[in-house]
A and B are shown apart, each in its own frame.
Chain A
Amino acid sequence: AQSVAQPEDQVNVAEGNPLTVKCTYSVSGNPYLFWYVQYPNRGLQFLLKYITGDNLVKGSYGFEAEFNKSQTSFHLKKPSALVSDSALYFCAVRVRVNFNKFYFGSGTKLNVKP
C-alpha cells in the first residue's frame, strides 16, 4: 500500500533559524513528490516538486526540499524561517504506476516565533 508519513505533528522554530519539516514515503515504483502549504481557512497551495534529476529542488518563498532515494525521504527545508511561514505543510506523492491518485501525509504545523 502507498503511504506518506510526516512524523511530526508540529515543528517550532525561532525566526531566522533554519527549519526542516520531515516526510518519508512508501510506494511501489518511483514516485513524484510534492510539498504543499495551507494557510488558515484556505486551500492547499503548491510549493515545490521532485520529478527527476537533481535531488535538491527549489520552490516558492525560499523553500527547498531534498530527495533521498535510499532513505525514501523528501524533507522540506528553509535556511532562515520567517514568522509568515507559520502554516500547515503537507507532503504528497503521486505514484507513476497509478497516475490517478495523490497520497497526502497528515500534515505538520509549523510555528515560527519572533
Chain B
Amino acid sequence: NAGVTQTPKFRILKIGQSMTLQCAQDMNHNYMYWYRQDPGMGLKLIYYSVGAGITDKGEVPNGYNVSRSTTEDFPLRLELAAPSQTSVYFCASTRGDSGNTIYFGEGSWLTVV
C-alpha cells in the first residue's frame, strides 16, 4: 500500500549543483503535481501533469523542470541550485474525476548552501 513515494527524504546541495527528486505513485492516477512548502508557509504549485507526455507550469516553475514518460513516475529536476530553492518538496497525485482527493508523498527536505 505504497501510495506516493518520494526520494530522497533529505538532501544538501551546493549552489550551482543539479539534482532530481524522484516521485512514483502506484494508484494509476493520471494527474500528478509538485509543490514546494517554505517554512511556515502554504503550498505553491511548481509543475503538474495530466498524463504521460503532458506537463504544464504552475505558480513557481523557474529553476525547475519535469518530465512524465510513464503514468507512475514524475521526477522534478533542479538545475543550478540556488539558496532560494531551499524548501520542502511534495509530490502528489489524483485521478481525473473531479471529486477525487489528492494524495501526498511524505516530502523531500532540500537545503542549498
**Is B60 part of the contact surface with A, judged by Cβ < 8 Å?**
no
A97 (CB) vs chain B CBs: closest residue:
B98
A41 touches B102 (CB 8 A): no
Interface size on B, residues (CB 8 A): 25
- Of the candidates A45, A90, A94, A100, which one forms a contact with B43 in the assembled complex, judged by CB atoms under 8 Å apart? A90
- Of the candidates B42, B45, B58, B99, which one forms a contact with A32 in the assembled complex, judged by CB atoms under 8 Å apart? B99
| Interface segment, one of B65-73, B74-82, B104-112 | B104-112
**Contacts A43-B90, A43-B106, A43-B107 known; A99 to B98 CB distance under 8 Å?**
yes
Contact digits for B84-105, partner A, Cβ 8 Å, 1 yes 0 no: 0000001010101111011111
Give the residues in chain B near A106, CB-CB below 8 Å: 41-42
Interchain Cβ contacts within 8 Å, total number: 52
**Is B50 part of the contact surface with A, judged by Cβ < 8 Å?**
yes
A100 touches B90 (CB 8 A): no
Q: How far is the CB of B96 from chain A (nearest CB, A)?
A: 6
**Is B31 part of the contact surface with A, judged by Cβ < 8 Å?**
yes
**Contacts A90-B42, A101-B48, A104-B43 known; A51 to B99 CB distance under 8 Å?**
yes
Separation of A46 and B33 alpha carbons in the complex (Å) = 16
Q: How far is the CB of A105 from chain B (nearest CB, A)?
A: 6
B98 touches A41 (CB 8 A): no
B105 (CB) vs chain A CBs: closest residue:
A43
**Contacts A99-B96, A101-B48, A106-B42 known; A92 to B102 CB distance under 8 Å?**
yes
For the complex with contacts A49-B101, A90-B43, A99-B97, 17 further pairs of A-B residues with Cβ separation under 8 Å are A41-B107, A42-B107, A43-B90, A43-B105, A43-B106, A44-B92, A44-B104, A46-B101, A46-B103, A92-B102, A94-B98, A96-B98, A100-B31, A101-B58, A102-B94, A106-B42, A107-B42
Instruction: Show 29 A/B contacts (Cβ-Cβ < 8 Å), sorted by A.
Output: A32-B98, A34-B102, A36-B104, A42-B106, A43-B4, A43-B90, A43-B104, A43-B105, A43-B107, A44-B90, A44-B92, A45-B104, A46-B102, A46-B103, A49-B99, A90-B42, A90-B43, A94-B102, A96-B98, A99-B31, A100-B31, A100-B50, A100-B56, A101-B45, A101-B48, A101-B58, A102-B33, A106-B41, A106-B42
